[in-house]
Amino acid sequence: MASIEQKVQCMLWFHGTKSPINVQRAFRRCYGRYPSGTKSIKRWFEKIKETGSVTDLPRSGRPSVSEATVGLVRQSFQRSPTKSTRQASREL
């Protein structure tokens, strides 16, 4: 995975050449490793045109669990270690 700085450099090369293949060649010469695919380079360019940034937007992901909830679950199983998870979830 390319770092943000490497993505920005790729966008500068792409803006100058309009060729993802030339960007890949320049990336290999500059960083000494194989770059991302041509589709990724084009996608980064579209993203920078639309949003002005190559960074990803925050994702919703799985909701976090509060420490209070973790404490309640822990107490429930300490009181009754043989309780099933279904029964415990009904009680909470």
Q: What is the pLDDT of residues 10-69, one digit of tens each?
A: 989 998 999 999 999 999 999 998 888 999 989 888 988 888 888 888 888 888 888 988
Assess if residue 77 is contained within a domain: no
What SS3 string covers the chain? CCCHHHHHHHHHHHHHHCCHHHHHHHHHHHHCCCCCCHHHHHHHHHHHHHHCCCCCCCCCCCCCCCHHHHHHHHHHHHHCCCCCHHHHHHHC
Residue 10 domain boundaries = 4-51
Query: Quick one: average pLDDT of 65-89?
Result: 88
> pLDDT at residue 92 above 80?
no
Domain count, the chain: 1
Assess if residue 84 is contained within a domain: no
Assess if residue 81 is contained within a domain: no
Q: Which pLDDT score is estimated for 63? A: 83
